[in-house]
Amino acid sequence: MRIRMRESLTAIRLLVPAVFILAASCRGTPPPLGTLAGITRADIRKMHPGDSAVSLTDSLRLEAIADALNQEHDGWHGSWHTQPAGDLSVQFFRGDSSIGVLWIGPQFLAERATGPRLLKQISSRTEDRLRHLLDPRWPVSSPRGRPS
């Protein structure tokens, strides 16, 4: 009986740290691009249909983009599988220094700064809002449907 009790206690001692490690990893990782405070430029490339590129430098728009992305701080994770590539990529800069890249695809975001590339599922509403903010044809404060 004592041997069984000792084996059970040993198993429990090994299991408890594993549970804490698993619980900590399930909370997700903070976004790799951080808060995007002080960004001065965003280079946007649309891959489909046809390639196009534009640089945004308007501080009001950049602040709105940073605010929208800062709301997406939870739920980031890595993947063992091939990661999707979005149809829109955004490289952020502070001065001449690149901070990292954001990709937007159908209901997902991917980010990469200096560490691994991380993913996050988003709603179609969040996706639409980010695409709207990243499209220079639309004023930041305008309702959808009225290009500038």
- pLDDT tens for 121-140 read 999 999 999 999 999 888 87
CATH number at residue 44: 3.30.1490.410
Give me the domain span that covers residue 123.
29-134
Instruction: Kindly tell me if the per-residue pLDDT of 97 is higher than 70.
Output: yes
Instruction: Kindly tell me if the per-residue pLDDT of 82 is higher than 90.
Output: no
Average pLDDT over residues 84-111: 92
Cα-Cα-Cα-Cα torsion 60, 63, 67, 68, nearest 10 degrees, comes to: 70
Is residue 147 one of the residues assigned to a domain?
A: no
Instruction: Give how many domains the chain has, as a whole number.
Output: 1
Is residue 7 one of the residues assigned to a domain?
A: no
Specify the range with the lowest mean pLDDT, choosing from 1-10, 93-102, 107-116.
1-10
Q: Measured at the alpha carbon of residue 41, what is the angle toward residues 56 and 135, in degrees to the nearest 5?
A: 25
Is residue 12 one of the residues assigned to a domain?
A: no
pLDDT in tens, 9-68: 455 554 434 433 333 344 567 777 888 889 999 999 998 777 789 999 999 999 999 999
| Better pLDDT: 114 or 14 | 114
Is residue 79 one of the residues assigned to a domain?
A: yes
Cis bond upstream, residue 106 (ω within 30): no
Is residue 1 one of the residues assigned to a domain?
A: no
Is residue 40 one of the residues assigned to a domain?
A: yes
Is residue 4 one of the residues assigned to a domain?
A: no
